[in-house]
C-alpha cells in the first residue's frame, strides 16, 4: 500500500494479480504466500498437511474503495503438489471493511466482515464444500505524521460439508495481527490459531471390507504469517572512468512473504484417525522482484571527505534538501525551516499536503487564507510544509505569531520534532524521571520526554562523555546524520519489531 493517505486501509480502486502495490498484508487468513508468479498455501481440512499451489493466472485479488468502505476479493484455483493426495481447490471470498474516522483523536477503526464466500476442495475421493463462514476482524489504526500503526483482533468459523451428506469439518479461528505503514516500509504480521474438529461418516469400499465408520478427530494449527515491504537506498559506483559523476543512489523496493504452520494432528490411515499424533512445522516464503529507481546525483564541492558526506548525498538524492548542488555548507547551522521541510519530505509526508484548488466562480468567495505566523507568508513555497508540521503537532512557533524560519535549530528541538513525527512522544514514563545522559539537568522540560524516548528506541545516543548537548545548535551535517537515522528507523527498526521479533519469537 503505497502511502498516499494517512489511513492504513483506504485504497483507490485497483484490479491486480499479485501487484506489488497491493499492500503488505498476507493474502487471506490461511497462511498463503505469493509473488508475481505463484501462490502457495497448506491445507489441513483432511487431517493431513497438503501443499496447494497456483500460478499467477490462477489467482487474482481485487480491491475497491468507496466512501468509508473497502472490499477485497480473492479468487484462487489451486492444485495439490502431493502425489499421494491429488486434489484441487477453488475459492472466492469477498471481505468488506467499514472505516470510522476519529479526526480529533488521529485514529481510525476498521471493522471487517465476510460479504460473499465460495470454496470447494477435492482431495482424493473426498469433496469438501464450505457451507458457512462467520468472520469478524476489528482494527484500531493510529494515524501518526510519519507512519501509521495498527493492531487487530480476529474471530472466525468455517464449516465444510464432506461429500454432501457425510459429516462436517469445523475450523474455529482466532488471532491477532499488528502492522505499520509509511513511505519507507510496511509490514503486517498475523498470528492465527486454528482448532479443527472432524465428525464424518467414512464409506469403506475395498476387497476385504465394505461398510461405514464414524470418524472423529481434533487437531490444531498455529499460523504465523508476515508480509513486508521495504525501500532501501543503495549506492553504485560509476564503472566508467571518464564520467561527470562517480556514482549515485538507487531506491530499491523489496517485498516478501513468509509463513510458518505448526500443527498437531492425528495420524490418518485409510481415512481413519489413529491414536498417535503427528506434529511438525511447514515454512513457506516467496519474494517479489525488486523495483529499482535511480535518483538524482549530488555534486557538492564542499562535502568531499566530510564525516557526514554519505548522509548528505543520500538526502539530496531523495530531494530532501533543495537548491543548487554546488555547496551544502555542512558545518553551518541548520535552520528551523530547512529541518522542518526536510523531515516532511524525507518521510514523504508531502503526499498529504493539499494542493491549491483551482479557482472557480464559487471559490472566489472563499476567504483568503491567513498565515498564523507573521514571518511565513502563504505565498511562500515553504508555507505548506510549515502549515503541515504545525497542524500535525510536529513543530510549533517560537512565539504566538512567529515561526522563526531562519532561527537556528537546537538538538533538543530536532529530537522533539522526530519523536513527534513518529508519534512516540507519549511513550515516556510518568513525569519525575531522569534520562541517563550526564547533562540531564540541561534538558528543557518540553524536550525531556522526546529525548528519553529517542534514546530508548535508538534514535540518538550521547557523545563520548555521555552528553546529549540539548541546547547546542545543530549543524547541517549533524542534522543530515540525524535525519538518515530517522529514515532508517522507518525502514529497518519498525520492520524488525513488527516482523523478525514476532516471527522468530
Span 136-156, pLDDT tens digits = 999 999 999 999 999 999 999
93 against 363, higher pLDDT? 93
Q: Are residues 298 and 265 in the same domain?
A: no
Owner of C-alpha cell 494515524: 143
Distance CA 434, CA 415 (A): 17
Q: What is the pLDDT of residue 368?
A: 85
Residue 186, domain member (yes or no): yes
pLDDT, mean over the chain = 89
Please, which pLDDT band fits residue 270 given cuts at 50, 70 and 90? confident
3-state SS, residue 472: coil
The answer, yes or no, to whether residue 2 has pLDDT greater than 90, is: no
- Cα torsion through 499, 75, 36, 175, rounded to 10: 10
Reported for 312-320, long-range contacts at CB under 8 A and 24+ positions apart, including other chains, are: 312/476, 312/477, 312/480, 313/249, 314/233, 314/249, 314/484, 315/342, 315/346, 315/480, 315/483, 315/484, 317/233, 317/248, 317/249, 318/233, 318/251, 318/345, 318/346, 319/345, 320/345, 320/346, 320/483
Phi/psi of residue 478, nearest 5 degrees: -65, -40
The three cell numbers of residue 252 are: 530499491
Inside any domain, residue 502: no
- Examine residue 500 and state whether it is found in any structural domain, yes or no: no
Do 279 and 362 sit in the same domain of this protein? no
- Among 79-83, 311-315, 364-368, the minimum mean pLDDT is found in 364-368
236: number of Cβ within 10 Å: 11
Q: Could you tell me if 322 and 341 are in contact, meaning their C-beta atoms sit under 8 angstroms apart? A: yes
- What are the start-end ranges of the E strands in 238-246? none
pLDDT digits (tens, 9 = 90+) for 113-125: 999 999 999 999 9
Decide if 146 is inside a domain. Answer: yes
Tens-digit pLDDT profile for residues 192-209:
999 999 998 887 766 566
Domain membership flag for residue 33: yes
Are 300 and 285 part of one and the same domain?
Answer: no
Cα separations in angstroms, 479 against 60, 388, 438, 454: 45, 20, 22, 15
Same-domain status, 64 and 187: yes
Q: Which neighbouring-strand residues pair with 408?
A: 335
Report the run of H or E that residue 502 belongs to, with start and end: helix 501-503
Total domain count for the chain?
2
Query: Is residue 171 scored above 80 in pLDDT?
Result: yes
Q: Would you tell me how many other CB atoms lie within 10 Å of the CB of residue 341?
A: 23
pLDDT of residue 349: 81
Model confidence at 8, in pLDDT bands (50, 70, 90)?
very low
CA distance 230 to 501: 16
Domain coverage including residue 488: 294-495
Is 418 among the domain residues?
yes
What pLDDT score does 7 carry? 33
Q: What is the mean pLDDT of residues 1-14?
A: 32
End-to-end CA distance of the chain: 26
Are residue 276 and residue 206 in the same domain, yes or no?
yes
Asked whether 97 and 112 are in contact (CB, 8 A), the reply is yes
20: pLDDT confidence band, cut at 50, 70 and 90?
Answer: very low
Domain annotation covers residue 5: no
- Grid cell, residue 363, equals 471559490
Cα–Cα distance for residue pair 358/367, rounded to 1 Å: 14
pLDDT at 379 over 70: yes
Over pLDDT 70: what percentage of the chain?
Answer: 90
CB atoms within 10 A of CB 242: 5
pLDDT reported for residue 505: 64
Instruction: Report how far residue 351's alpha carbon sits from residue 363's, in angstroms, rounded to the nearest whole number.
Output: 23
Q: Is residue 170 part of a domain?
A: yes
Separation between Cα atoms, residue 450 and residue 262, nearest integer Å: 41
- What confidence tier does 409 reach under pLDDT thresholds 50, 70, 90? very high
Residues 210 and 271 in one domain: yes
- Statement to judge: residues 374 and 341 lie in one domain: yes
Judgement on whether residues 344 and 266 belong to the same structural domain of the protein = no
Average pLDDT rounded to a whole number, residues 21-27: 68
Which pLDDT belongs to residue 210?
Answer: 67
Whether 392 and 452 map to the same domain: the answer is yes
Contacts 24+ apart (CB under 8 A), 272-280: 272/202, 272/213, 272/215, 273/47, 273/198, 273/215, 273/216, 273/217, 280/49
- Is the pTM higher than 0.85? The answer reads yes
Mean local confidence (pLDDT), 388-396:
92
- Quote the CA–CA distance of 186 and 257 in Å, as a whole number: 12
User: Based on the domain organization, do 282 and 298 belong to the same domain?
Assistant: no
In whole angstroms, how far apart are CA 492 and each of 345, 402, 428, 503?
Answer: 18, 36, 22, 15
| 411 has pLDDT over 80 | yes
Instruction: Report how far residue 68's alpha carbon sits from residue 470's, in angstroms, rounded to the nearest whole number.
Output: 44
pLDDT in tens, 37-48: 999 999 999 999
pLDDT at 279 over 80: yes
User: Does 286 lie in the same domain as 302?
Assistant: no
What tens digit of pLDDT does each residue of 440-457 get?
Answer: 999 999 999 999 999 999
Are 288 and 300 part of one and the same domain?
Answer: no
Q: Is the pLDDT of residue 4 over 50?
A: no
Amino acid at each position: 500500500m503505497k502511502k498516499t493517505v494517512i489511513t492504513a486501509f483506504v485504497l483507490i480502486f485497483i484490479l491486480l494479480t499479485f501487484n506489488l502495490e497491493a499492500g503488505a498484508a498476507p493474502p487471506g487468513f490461511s497462511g498463503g504466500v505469493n509473488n508475481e508468479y505463484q501462490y502457495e498455501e497448506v491445507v489441513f481440512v483432511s487431517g493431513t498437511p497438503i501443499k496447494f499451489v497456483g500460478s499467477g493466472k490462477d489467482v487474482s485479488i481485487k480491491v475497491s474503495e468507496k466512501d468509508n468502505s473497502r472490499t477485497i476479493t480473492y479468487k484462487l484455483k489451486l492444485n495439490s503438489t502431493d502425489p499421494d493426495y491429488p486434489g484441487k481447490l477453488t475459492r472466492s471470498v469477498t471481505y468488506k471493511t467499514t472505516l470510522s474516522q476519529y479526526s480529533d483523536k488521529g485514529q481510525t477503526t476498521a471493522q471487517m466482515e465476510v460479504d460473499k464466500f465460495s470454496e470447494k476442495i477435492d482431495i482424493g475421493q473426498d469433496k469438501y464444500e464450505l457451507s458457512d463462514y462467520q468472520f469478524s476482524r476489528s482494527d484500531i489504526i493510529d494515524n501518526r505524521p510519519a507512519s501509521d500503526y495498527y493492531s487487530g483482533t480476529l474471530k472466525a468459523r468455517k464449516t465444510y460439508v464432506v461429500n454432501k451428506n457425510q459429516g462436517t469439518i469445523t475450523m474455529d479461528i482466532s488471532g491477532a495481527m499488528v502492522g505499520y505503514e509509511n513511505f519507507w516500509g510496511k509490514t503486517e504480521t498475523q498470528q492465527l490459531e486454528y482448532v479443527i474438529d472432524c465428525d464424518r461418516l467414512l464409506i469403506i469400499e475395498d476387497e476385504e471390507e465394505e461398510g461405514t465408520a464414524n470418524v472423529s478427530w481434533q487437531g490444531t494449527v498455529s499460523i504465523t504469517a508476515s508480509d513486508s515491504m521495504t525501500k532501501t537506498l543503495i549506492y553504485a559506483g560509476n564503472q566508467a572512468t571518464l564520467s561527470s559523476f562517480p556514482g549515485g543512489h538507487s531506491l530499491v523496493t523489496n517485498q516478501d512473504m513468509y509463513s510458518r504452520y505448526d500443527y498437531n494432528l492425528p495420524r490418518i490411515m485409510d481415512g481413519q484417525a489413529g491414536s498417535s499424533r503427528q506434529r511438525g512445522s511447514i515454512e513457506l516464503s516467496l519474494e517479489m522482484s525488486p523495483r529499482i529507481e535511480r535518483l538524482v546525483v549530488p555534486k557538492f564541492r564542499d562535502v568531499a571527505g566530510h564525516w557526514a558526506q554519505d548522509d548528505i548525498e543520500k538526502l539530496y538524492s531523495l530531494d530532501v534538501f533543495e537548491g543548487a548542488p554546488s555547496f551544502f555548507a555542512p558545518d553551518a547551522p541548520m535552520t528551523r525551516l530547512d529541518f522542518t521541510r526536510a523531515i516532511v519530505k524525507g518521510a514523504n509526508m508531502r503526499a498529504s499536503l493539499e494542493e491549491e484548488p483551482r479557482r472557480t466562480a464559487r471559490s472566489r468567495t472563499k476567504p483568503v487564507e491567513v498565515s498564523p505566523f507573521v514571518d511565513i507568508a502563504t505565498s511562500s513555497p515553504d508555507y505548506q510544509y510549515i502549515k503541515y508540521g504545525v497542524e500535525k503537532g510536529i513543530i510549533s512557533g517560537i512565539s504566538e505569531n512567529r515561526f522563526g524560519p531562519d532561527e537556528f535549530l537546537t538538538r533538543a528541538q530536532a529530537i522533539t520534532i522526530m519523536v513527534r513525527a513518529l508519534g512516540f512522544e507519549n511513550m515516556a514514563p510518568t513525569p519525575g524521571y531522569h534520562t541517563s545522559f550526564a547533562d540531564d539537568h540541561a534538558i528543557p522540560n518540553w524536550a525531556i520526554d522526546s529525548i528519553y524516548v529517542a534514546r530508548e528506541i535508538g534514535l540518538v545516543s550521547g557523545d563520548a562523555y555521555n552528553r546529549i548537548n540539548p541546547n547546542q545548535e545543530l549543524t547541517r551535517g549533524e542534522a543530515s546524520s540525524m535525519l538518515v537515522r530517522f529514515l532508517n528507523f522507518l525502514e529497518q527498526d519498525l520492520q524488525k519489531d513488527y516482523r523478525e521479533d514476532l516471527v522468530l519469537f
